[in-house]
Amino acid sequence: MTLRPSSTLRALLTGTACLFLASSALPGYAADDTKAKPDAAADKKADKDDALPPLPDDKTIHQSIQLDGKTLNYDATVGSIPVRDAKGKKIADVVFTAYIVPGKAPSRPVTFAFNGGPGASSVYLNMGAVGPKRVQFGDEGDSPSDSSVTTDNPNSWLDMTDLVFIDPVGTGYSRSLEDDDTTKKDFWSTEADIQYLSRVVYDWLVKNGRLRSPKYVMGESYGGYRAPRIANALQTRMGVGVSGLIMVSPYLDPAAVGSETALSPLPWMINLPSMAAANLEKQGKLTPAAIAEVEQYDRTQFVTDFLAGRSDPQAVSRLVAKVSEYTGLDPALVARMDGRVDSMTFVRESHRNERKIGSWYDSNVTAYDPFPESPSQKSGDPILNALLAPTTSAMVDFVTREVGWKTDAHYEALSPVVGENWQQYPNEDKPVSDLRQAIANDPKMKVLIAHGYNDLSCPFFTSRLVIDQLPTFGGTKQVKLSVYPGGHMFYSRAGSGAAFKADAKALYSKD
């Protein structure tokens, strides 16, 4: 889950290694307090008065779900893991929600799930994709006033694995105990994020006696940037093996995004198949074969005509004709852009005649345009505007009323503060590099990358190109790419959620 479809967001998304010390310590962050101040007692009292109240103790309740006609009993726990600096001072509380089938450890797998943003809590994977309860969001016609009452999730993965959903600092109820500047350095940057979250996974395993269990890491969107990096950090720093990696609509290769003036055709290539998929879906013609045709054109004639450039009018004419055909956009518009159609123009123009706007996350999910006379979009994203209220209300109700984990803090499902203050947006292939290393480290580790056809925030074709460039690793096929009808949150469609679970079963099998 990313925050919002704007130039600011795209900057946020494009976002050395320091080893953790013992006792959940982040190195080098403790202040030098060797010289006592004359008013030290007053300072301590002021600090105590200003301190946040402690979070509640971990709380567990017993629940059940009907899956495939069978009752599955499980324990639902809301709790926290402390993050400490090098001197043992607690500098943050990371809150988790865990669903555990009792009596099955240590042979039962456990999966750690992260959403993205940066600034998104894990509620979307939890109550939308694989958790035992779900609330509807991400579909055409959803609205903020939709019911926040949860129902059993028929596509939950709880019959395959225990589930631990982790909210990074600044999201959900997780919080920093440091000042703003230190928080940015210690938590809201690409490298620090991987360091402390890897340690949180390790600490949860130790706290719950699960180091002997098969362990999986799951990440959506920017969480897909996190997932391979956390897996590699667990393997090489924390001493924790990872059996499998699930990347959901991952933000996998920042370098591929580029800019509108980039010499590389990649920024334009990666969007075209998703635009074509949305157009085909509207016509009822979306099939893997139809998309394969677009991908083949994208890899061949599109690249040739793009690189020929505007100095070759025939190349531009071919480009305009084919892009117009695949996207369904007005050829005159595509001609004005010389065939270089960006994602935001597509979601704006593909529904303009209906006086609606499409979502960056699923371009066929629309909302009425409050400013139809404007040449550019002035309103928020249809999916994000609709999902915030029901997901926040459902999660807060579950935590505070059902589980009874009481806090006065506000639940940050999508935190703009985290996104706006995120440090370091590397235009590099860190997640791909760490993915390669994690696979090379462990030839037994399986990887599933899952996308929705219509997603323009993290297009599936990026992952297709990345996978095609991976080494063979001895000829084994450790990485599988699955693409489903839908968008960024394809799992909100019942059929796509079921197909996603079916593909995941192979990941969790012992074969």
In this structure, what CATH number is given to the domain that contains residue 152?
3.40.50.1820
Task: Quote the pLDDT of residue 254.
Answer: 64
Among 380, 412, 436, the domain boundary falls at 380
CA angle 163, 64, 395 (to 5 degrees): 60
- Residues paired with residue 90 on neighbouring β-strands, in sequence order: 84
Upper half-sphere CA count for residue 77 (Cβ side, 13 Å): 19
Judge contact between 366 and 376, C-beta under 8 A: no
DSSP code of residue 77: E
Residues 237, 319 within the same domain: no
Q: How far apart are CA 11 and CA 118, in angstroms?
A: 11
- Residue 255 DSSP SS3: helix
Task: Give the DSSP H/E element, type plus range, for residue 199.
Answer: helix 190-207
Residue 25: inside a domain, yes or no? no
Task: Quote the pLDDT of residue 429.
Answer: 65
Residues 211, 286 within the same domain: no
Query: At 179, which amino acid appears?
Result: D
Q: How far apart are CA 127 and CA 198, in angstroms?
A: 23
Q: Containing domain of residue 292, as a range? A: 259-380
Domain total for the chain? 2
Judge contact between 228 and 438, C-beta under 8 A: yes
Q: What are the percentages of helix, strand and coil residues in the chain, rounded to 5?
A: 40, 20, 40
Task: Quote the pLDDT of residue 386.
Answer: 85
Among 327, 357, 380, the domain boundary falls at 380
Q: Measured in whole angstroms, how far is the alpha carbon of residue 481 from the centre of its chain?
A: 16
Residues 96, 112 within the same domain: yes
Whether the bond into 106 is cis, omega within 30 of 0: yes
What is the residue whose two structure tokens read 């600090």? 47
- Residue 162 DSSP SS3: strand
Among the listed residues 203, 250, 261, the one whose alpha carbon sits nearest the alpha carbon of residue 226: 250
> What is the per-residue burial (b if ≥16 Cβ within 10 Å, else e) of 359-397?
bbbbbbbbbebeeeeeeebeebbbbbbbbebbbbbbbbe
Residues 345, 415 within the same domain: no
Residue 32: inside a domain, yes or no? no
Structure tokens at 132: 């035992």
Residue 15: inside a domain, yes or no? no
- Residues paired with residue 26 on neighbouring β-strands, in sequence order: 85
Residues 186, 298 within the same domain: no
Residue 264: inside a domain, yes or no? yes
Residue 459: inside a domain, yes or no? yes
Phi and psi dihedrals of 162, rounded to 5?
-70, 155
Residues 146, 237 within the same domain: yes
Q: How far apart are CA 335 and CA 313, in angstroms?
A: 11
Task: Quote the pLDDT of residue 257.
Answer: 62
Task: Give the DSSP H/E element, type plus range, for residue 232.
Answer: helix 222-233
Instruction: Give the residue ranges of the chain where pLDDT is below 70.
Output: 1-50, 140-142, 254-262, 424-429, 474-476, 510-511
How is 104-156 classified by DSSP, letter by letter?
Answer: -TTTS-EEEEE--TTTB-THHIIIIIISSEE---SSTT--TTS----EE-TT-
DSSP code of residue 55: P
Among 354, 380, 406, the domain boundary falls at 380
Q: What's the pTM?
A: 0.88
Residue 24: inside a domain, yes or no? no
Longest dimension (CA), the chain: 80
Residues 244, 264 within the same domain: no
Q: How far apart are CA 326 and CA 274, in angstroms?
A: 10
Residues 320, 275 within the same domain: yes
Residues 275, 172 within the same domain: no
Residues 136, 250 within the same domain: yes
Residue 184: inside a domain, yes or no? yes
Which pairing describes strands 479-484 and 446-452: parallel, antiparallel, or unpaired? parallel
Structure tokens at 124: 């979307």
Residue 43: inside a domain, yes or no? no
Whether the bond into 118 is cis, omega within 30 of 0: yes
Judge contact between 145 and 250, C-beta under 8 A: no
Q: How far apart are CA 404 and CA 407, in angstroms?
A: 9
Task: Quote the pLDDT of residue 139.
Answer: 73
Q: Which residues contact 449 (CB under 8 A, 6 or more apart)?
A: 224, 247, 250, 252, 463, 467, 479, 480, 481, 482
194: phi > 0 → left, psi -120 to 50 → alpha, else beta; which?
alpha
Residues 233, 270 within the same domain: no
Phi and psi dihedrals of 96, rounded to 5?
-130, 160
Residues 403, 494 within the same domain: yes
- Residues paired with residue 172 on neighbouring β-strands, in sequence order: 412
Task: Quote the pLDDT of residue 67.
Answer: 93
Q: How far apart are CA 166 and CA 94, in angstroms?
A: 7
